[in-house]
Amino acid sequence: MPTLGAVPAPVIVAAGLGEDPTAEDLRRAAGAALRSLAGTARAAVALPAADAERVEAAALGALLGAYSFDSFRTGEHKSPVAEITLLAGGDGAEAAVERARVLAESVKLVRDLVNTPPSHLAPEDLAGEAERVARETGLSIEVLDEKALVDGGYGGLVGVGQGSVNPPRLIRLSYTHPEAAKTLALVGKGITFDSGGLSLKPSEAMDWMKSDMGGAGAVLGALAAIGRLRPKVNVVGYLAAAENMPSGTAQRPSDVIRIYGGKTVEVLNTDAEGRLVLADALVRAAEDDPDLIVDVATLTGAQLVALAPGPPGSWPTTTTSVRRWWTRPGAPASPPGACRCRPSCARAWTRRSPTSPTSAATGGAACSSRACSSRSSSGTAPSGRTWTSRARRSTRASRTATPRRAAPAPRPARSCRSPKTSPQGPSRGRPVRPG
């Protein structure tokens, strides 16, 4: 709203926070306010941030709200706010702002990589960006080119990348801390463009396949932040980068490849390239003997069908990491396996008996609440308890009460003429029904 000279600022942007706003509310409000001020040179953010957590949230939201990908734009456009002043205080405020700045820079790096067109981001370019990050943050880096991948037996990366003029790369970044007692491995899918290979994608599903390297970009961004924040944990990151293209040298459906570690894989669909490059990287990551491996990938569009856009799908091999997520500070107070689309969805979930005939586990649960766009409505908690929404239970109860129709009587057997005796001539092995 215009101030009409009442205060030095020409415009004031008000952001509604509701009652008892959380740090996440502050982050989102600051981001929305800064986005609305695009085209403004400077802005001051005044939100109720009285402690370090809220200061960091407000600063992070403001910095991310001032993001715009303008590298390839021509003509006039509104640039994001260039200078931000955060009006806040309290113990640890300066350290919180610095942490927010580091995290925002890492997130912006990932956004830039995902937004960059594939004409400017081949696997070799992604490796070059990783080398730049390693130099600036003190990380160790190792890059395997196409020759080293063949010599090392990385059949997944070699097979996916052999159809492209841009050869694949396996990028390994590592961070160590002298006081670390644990090692974390991050593995990211880095398909810089996914045409589907010979199993070609439809055109309407291909234009956003430049983002198929988002997993590798997220791993690179995480390592960039870790290198600057210096946490007391050892971290190693793998970026499995390739371009999946059709050509005379591309892998074919029914090809058999040998991934790193020696296991053979039959390729039935060349558009299932993500699991091939990740197989190489995951086996290699396991050789570092980490305490935990986290695989980050845009692996399948089926997740959008199951969970709707927004919530992440996770398939842990143990329940420990899931419990840690749900007990972390600020985690929503909803049972494990419930929908994460919005906090209000958790109230629609109730406990269901594990002996229920409809309590089968699903890979990723979502809520059937009307406030949520997800469809799936059952899931299993790490402790083995099963959860379902009230709406779905009542629906199933009504279905059970409805009497089933009697099964149709079996049809009488019908004879078929032999292809040799058919009046219509040979049928190439298919029986011909009598007319």
Assign residue 151 the CATH number of its domain: 3.40.630.10
CA–CA separation, 25 and 287 (whole Å): 41
The predicted structure's pLDDT at residue 10: 81
First-to-last C-alpha distance (Å) of the chain: 80
pLDDT of res. 160: 98
Position 408 scores a pLDDT of 56
Give the chain's residues under pLDDT 70: 319-435
Residue ranges making up the domain that contains 82: 1-71+78-115
- 274, 351: one domain: no
**What per-residue confidence (pLDDT) applies to 90?**
80
123, 109: one domain? no
pLDDT at 61: 95
Structure tokens at 112: 């830039």
Same domain, 110 and 181: no
* Shared-domain flag, residues 154 and 46: no
What's the pLDDT score for residue 384?
Answer: 36
What confidence score (pLDDT) does residue 1 get? 78
Residue 183 lies in a domain: yes
Residues 264 and 360 in one domain: no
**Which residues sit opposite 351 in a β-bridge?**
387
Residue 327 included in any domain:
no
Same domain, 93 and 200: no
Residue with tokens 């059949």: 155
Q: How many domains does the chain have?
A: 3
Q: How far is Cα 213 from Cα 266, in angstroms, rounded to an integer?
A: 23
Other CB atoms within 10 A of residue 147 CB: 9
Q: What is the CA radius of gyration of the chain?
A: 27
User: Do 289 and 175 have their domain in common?
Assistant: yes
Return the percentage of the chain with pLDDT > 70, whole number.
73
Is residue 409 included in any domain, yes or no? no
Q: Is residue 349 part of a domain?
A: yes
Regarding whether 209 and 64 lie in a shared domain, the answer is no
Do residue 207 and residue 264 come from a single domain? yes
Are 54 and 30 in contact by the 8 Å Cβ rule? The answer is no
Of 186, 221, 187, nearest to 104 by C-alpha is 221
In a domain, 429, yes or no: no
pLDDT of residue 139: 98
Q: Report, as residue numbers or ranges, the catalytic residues.
A: 201, 275
